[in-house]
Structure formats: structure tokens, C-alpha cells
């Protein structure tokens, strides 16, 4: 088996993407080891998912800090006690400071529920419906200082059905999130995925602007 890659996951909510990552590491040949799960909310259900899987958990309450920089500085200190090779944002509802992003440059991944660069920010499913889009989806990307703006790694495209609500569309997108996030994390852990000067590279090849595209 190849060397393991230690990962720290940051979350604020239910942790369904964390669960997909946990499940993916249970295959015998996975190089991914989730070293810790950290949340800014002590009531986040994702912490329970981690505990159930025997993963160390930590809580760092952002409200206990004077401003974003102080919180991010403490968060860096906490993350780095686990010496991760990769930090994964799985529904972490904090906008990260430039210092934080620079500290983890090239080893910080996020997932976003739209086909970036479309619909950065919130309420992506409703916005796709309001625009009359025929396709929607989700994106894994390297995190840079631009919100939801880093180089794309992989996107999953789903059809928008005529009778879709934001809820039904979200459900279809979530299914794909749980597929592509473990895939991207595994690529990174295997040394296949890196962030270069020009963008994301997979197996030494520069990925297209949309990343690796998966159609469902």
C-alpha cells in the first residue's frame, strides 16, 4: 500500500461530505487518513460522524475571537498540530483570511454546489433554476484568495429537470458531491493532483479551466 496522506477536515454543519470521505477511506487500498475533524460549532453533527468513526475532533468557536485574523491564526495553530498534508473544507461556513489561504496554498480544497465560475456564494440551486439553466452541478477546487475562485479540479454535471425544485436539484447535486470530493482527495493523496503555477495538474497534465468533467 502507498504511504498514507493525513487530512484535516473543517466543517460547520451536518458533514454529509465528511461521511462520503470516511466511507471512501474504508476501502482497503485508500491512501487517505482523516487525522482530525475541526468545527467552529460544537453542535455540528459532523463532529458526531467523526467520533463514530474514531476520528479525533476539535471545536474552535469563532465567536471567542476578536475578528477573522485572530480566529484564523488560532485555527492554523490547531490544524498544524495534526501535520496534515491536505486540508479539506466540507461545509465550513467561514470566509477564510488571505493569510490562512496562503499558509495552505496548494493543499487546501473546497467543494461548491455549482458549476463554477457560475453562482459563487449562496443559494446556488435556486439561482440555477431562476436562470433557466438546463445543467447544474458541483465543483471541487483549490482554494485561493478569491472566494469560490481557485483552479478547478473536477466538476460533476447534472441535468435540470423541468419539474425540479431547489430541494430536488440540491439532492441530485449532493449525490455527485459525495462522488467527486472523495475522488479529488484520493488524487491528491496519491500524488496525482497538484496545484501548479498555471492551474491544477492531474498526472502532470494541466486540467482544463472546468477541471476534470464528469457527466451524469
3-state secondary structure the chain: CCCCEEEEEEECCCCHHHHHHHHHHCCCCCCEEEEEEEECCCCCHHHHHHHHCCCEEEECCHHHCCCHHHHHHHHHHHHHCCCCCEEEECCCCCCCCHHHHHHCCCCEEEEECCCCCCCCCCCHHHHHHHCCCCEEEEEEEECCCCCCCCCEEEEEEEECCCCCCHHHHHHHHHHHHHHHHHHHHHHHHCCCEEECCCCEEECCEECCCCCEEEEC
Please tell me the predicted confidence (pLDDT) of residue 146.
87
Please give the model's pTM, rounded to 2 decimal places. Answer: 0.96
Nearest residue to 137 via CA among 122, 163, 119: 119
pLDDT, residue 3, reads 83
Contact 38, 6 (CB under 8 A): no
Superfamily of domain 1-104: Formyl transferase, N-terminal domain (3.40.50.170)
pLDDT at 189: 98
Give the Cα separation of 138 and 174 in Å (integer). 8
Count of C-beta atoms within a 10 Å radius of residue 208: 12
pLDDT at res. 1? 38
Q: Is the peptide bond before 150 cis (omega within 30 degrees of 0)?
A: no
Q: What is the pLDDT of residue 216?
A: 82
Annotated active-site positions, please? 112
Residue 121, pLDDT score: 92
- CATH 3.40.50.2300 for domain 111-216, yes or no, is no
Q: pLDDT tens per residue, the chain (216 residues)?
A: 358 999 999 999 999 999 999 999 998 899 999 999 999 999 999 999 999 999 999 999 999 999 999 999 999 999 999 999 999 999 999 989 999 999 999 999 999 999 999 999 999 999 999 999 999 999 999 999 988 899 999 999 999 999 999 999 999 999 999 999 999 999 999 999 999 999 999 999 999 999 999 998
The residue with cell 465550513 is: 92
Rounded-to-integer distance, Cα 105 and Cα 76, Å = 13
Q: Looking at the chain, which residues constitute the CATH 3.40.50.170 domain(s)?
A: 1-104, 111-216
Amino acid at each position: 500500500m502507498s504511504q498514507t496522506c493525513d487530512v484535516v477536515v473543517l466543517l460547520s454543519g451536518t458533514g454529509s461530505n465528511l461521511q462520503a470521505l470516511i466511507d471512501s477511506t474504508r476501502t482497503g487500498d485508500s491512501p487517505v487518513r482523516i487525522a482530525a475533524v475541526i468545527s467552529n460549532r460544537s453542535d455540528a453533527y459532523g463532529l458526531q460522524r467523526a467520533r463514530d468513526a474514531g476520528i479525533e475532533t476539535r471545536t474552535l468557536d469563532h465567536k471567542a475571537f476578536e475578528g477573522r485574523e485572530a480566529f484564523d491564526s488560532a485555527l492554523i495553530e490547531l490544524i498544524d498540530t495534526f501535520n496534515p498534508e491536505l486540508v479539506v473544507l466540507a461545509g465550513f461556513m467561514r470566509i477564510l483570511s488571505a493569510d490562512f489561504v496562503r499558509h495552505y496554498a496548494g493543499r487546501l480544497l473546497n467543494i461548491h454546489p455549482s458549476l463554477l465560475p457560475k453562482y459563487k456564494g449562496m443559494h446556488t440551486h435556486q439561482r440555477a433554476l431562476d436562470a433557466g439553466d438546463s445543467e447544474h452541478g458541483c465543483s471541487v477546487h483549490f482554494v485561493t484568495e478569491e472566494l469560490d475562485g481557485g483552479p478547478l479540479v473536477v466538476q460533476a454535471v447534472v441535468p435540470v429537470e423541468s419539474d425540479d425544485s431547489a430541494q430536488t436539484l440540491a439532492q441530485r447535486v449532493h449525490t455527485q458531491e459525495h462522488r467527486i470530493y472523495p475522488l479529488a482527495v484520493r488524487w491528491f493523496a496519491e500524488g496525482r493532483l497538484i496545484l501548479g503555477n498555471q492551474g491544477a495538474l492531474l498526472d502532470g497534465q494541466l486540467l482544463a479551466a472546468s477541471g476534470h468533467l464528469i457527466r451524469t
